Structure 1
Amino acid sequence: MTPVRLDTPPRPDGVTTWDEYVAALRTLRLWAGARGDAELAAAAPGLTVAAVRGVLGDHRRAVPDRRAAELIVRACLLLRERPEDEIAAEQRVWRAAWDGVLTATRRPARPAGNGRVTAIAAGVLLPAATGVVVNLATSNTGNWRAWGAVALVLVAHAALLAVVPARWAREPLPAALASALAVAVTVGLVLALPAGPPPPAPEPDARATGRATPAPCLREPVRPKIIRPDDPDLGRTWADGYVCPNHPAPVHLGPDVTTARAGLLKTTRSIFLCTVSRRDGYWYRTVADTDDANNGWGYVAQAYITSPHPIPGLPACPG
């Protein structure tokens, strides 16, 4: 393993999504040693606890605020007592990464010449919605023949729109008449079929009883979540582990934020094999979804795993 220098702040190298960008910012916060959102917000003028949570919290915004993200970077470096010229340089790096993710996540322009596709999609939308509504109203949700009738009408209608001249499919009146005919046929077929049995009564909702039901960690076999379960560092082959809900997270070569990154955990329910206790909390052995080093084998900090810590039943890592 190649350790990262303690005085080198983590950077958002190679991020292409907002989840990856936020995961990199969380790593920077761990590196800075902030004990909470209030301490981080107090480190930089203009930064508030609400702004920190809007970028790094569990209920963060879909697109993190650019100014708040740059203030978080500034706060992290101020906590490590870095000079202003270095802070400005790091903020430029994070600003460029933010711009890059924005460009990568923009919806591509709609290609020209797709008028017929749009017309077909619009033409089958009303019959499809009608079939679903009538099936629900007549308790046919469990009747495969009713759903088959809806699917048959939609396929026939789409095929008709595909073979007629394009100008007919795009003109409002012919398209509306064809859609109305498809609706009438759909209703007739569904009503002609007998209603299915009533659906079973639902199980009581945990929210109605006042008890929270967070997704638990479950013990599961390592395969197929880890294709090659031979651990290159701990000298053992893992047979099972615990699958827990998690945020996208960086995987480090060692149980320390200062070690190099082995990869990135992109899945939101990942498998963890053992745990290591450190002064900053628990670290969990896993394999990253991307391979930056060591075939992705490494450790994830507890901040990214939404479970009690240490994970109940998970053994300590050997060695």
Structure 2
Amino acid sequence: MEENNYKGIREQLKVSIENLYMGDLQILDAIEKGLQYKPKQMPQVGYQGVIGSFSEDAATRYFKDQDASYTRYDEFEEVFEALVRGEIDYGVLPIENSYTGEVLEVYDLIGHYNLYIVGEEIVRVTHHLAGVQGSKIEEIEEVYSHPQALGQCKQYLRQYPYIQSIPYANTAMAAQYIEQLDNKHKAAICSEKAANLYNLSILQRGINTKSNNYTRFIILSKTMQILPECDKVSIAFTTKHESGALYHILAHFAYNGLNLLKIQSRPMKDKSWHYYFFVDLEGHLEDANMLIALGKVSKESEYFSILGGYRQSKKVTY
């Protein structure tokens, strides 16, 4: 008798969840396809930067147990475009740093392209000041690096007000550029690996302001991929431009006992003072409370998309 009642309750819950999603069956279809995913053999992986970049480090760490091949791209958007064209199976991109915050360009590209987050990797970042062989700190007039790296080393650079900070596409690409220039008055902020690869001398080690400096990278794919160990869900939505709209949406997470890990807003390009909201939640897309909450959010949003369900990167403790 108890067993029959239990099955009845489960069936009622299933019907309730399906009713919540009745207006957006594409969401259920995407989740279903994600649950049927089979790991890809010998994947093609793309990242932004050159050999020696932190993006390459994140890619090789994440796919270390697979026979993956790697392709580098100069720009973030080139990685997205390669995924859409099917040139690569996965793209690895930085999404946020523990000190300087979000990589906003990547958030904007996620909002523009119809891709899914299928994993993440956290990399510890240590920056060094590197110049050509024989150069000295006192001689440096210009330093090149990614804007995030320059921001993470701002306190150190303040000691040298005469050094001009020049943004560059990538830390390792900056190191490569300094090697090509072969100018003792120019330097790069990069990793030790990049300095060694491009024959640069490390002029000062560990110049980032915070020693516990980490960057979170996301792994993107054309298809949703949901495994049993997935414990994180990312979504994007827009709200009605009225009082309390965001509050009511966020309340659904609290009512269903979901831990909200992060929320980020980005302006919509075609509507002034309207915003996309990107939210990370703890949980699995097969969990009933997750589906109920997302069903409610979907109905109350002007735009709604599940960006993916994936396993959180291991907590870094060192």
TM-score exceeds 0.5: no
TM norm structure 2: 0.22
**Which protein is richer in helix relative to its size?**
1
Structure showing greater radius of gyration is 1
TM norm structure 1: 0.22
